[in-house]
């Protein structure tokens, strides 16, 4: 088992398809090469609580419109939408943590 984690900044899109709400969240993984497809799969699994223990989203880092946080109810709604496949992954960028 590795204790090394790789951090990614993930842009999520949800809500109205014509004008979706964009949010960013930190995704921690044991994999060094994540992309939008693998992160989208992990998002669906994580929301359904079937994700591997070592791959996860740090929902406490979620920011909407650049700086706004969601209330607990809004966050629960977002996770529920993700479990139904209604949240898209738009971009996955590697984060350098120091």
**Average pLDDT of the residues in 20-29:** 93
> Could you tell me which of 20, 24, 17 has the C-alpha nearest to residue 39?
24
> Could you tell me which of 10, 15, 26, 18 has the C-alpha nearest to residue 61?
26
The fraction of the chain above a pLDDT of 70, given in percent, is 90
Cα Rg of the chain (Å, integer): 13
How do the domains of the chain map onto residue ranges? 6-95
Average pLDDT of the residues of the chain: 87
* 18 vs 35: CA distance, rounded Å: 24
Write down the pLDDT at residue 66: 86
Q: pLDDT of 37-78, one tens digit each?
A: 999 998 888 877 755 566 688 989 999 988 999 999 999 899
* 22 vs 1: CA distance, rounded Å: 34
């Amino acid at each position: 088992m590795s204790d090394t984690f790789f951090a990614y900044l993930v842009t999520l899109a949800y809500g109205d398809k014509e004008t979706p709400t964009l949010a960013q969240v930190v995704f921690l993984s044991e994999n060094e090469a994540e992309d939008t497809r693998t992160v989208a799969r992990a998002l669906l699994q994580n929301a359904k609580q079937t994700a591997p223990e070592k791959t996860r989203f740090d929902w406490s880092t979620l920011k909407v419109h650049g700086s706004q946080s969601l209330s607990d109810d809004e966050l629960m709604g977002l996770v529920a939408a993700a479990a139904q496949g209604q949240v898209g992954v738009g971009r996955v960028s590697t984060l350098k943590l120091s």
